[in-house]
Amino acid sequence: MDLKEFEKEIENIKKRNQRVELDKKWETCWTRKICICILTYIVVIIYSYVIRNSNNIFLSSLVPVIGFTLSTLSLSFVRKIWEQRNK
């Protein structure tokens, strides 16, 4: 390998490290945690309103699963905004 290839490889490693560091920050940031809580809470409210006093444990067990899934799917938009402010 020549010097240019080494420099390119080092630059690629630096970029990868920046992405990994940003991922770590995102996983532990309060923005992510609060968004998951809020979105899960909203899903539970809507779900409780729709189901109204059902004693079906299997149906009730879907609440946290659906809430968490929806919150993680919608967090990509929030993450983009968060990344722009944390770069």
Per-residue pLDDT of the chain (87 residues; tens, 9 = 90+): 688 888 999 999 999 999 898 888 888 888 888 888 887 778 777 777 777 766 766 777 777 777 777 777 777 888 888 888 887
Which tokens is 25 given? Answer: 């920050």
Residue 31: exposure state from Cβ atoms within 10 A (0-12, 13-18, ≥19): middle
Residue 52: exposure state from Cβ atoms within 10 A (0-12, 13-18, ≥19): exposed
For the chain, strand residue ranges (E) read none
CB 39 within 8 A of CB 67: yes
CB 80 within 8 A of CB 22: no
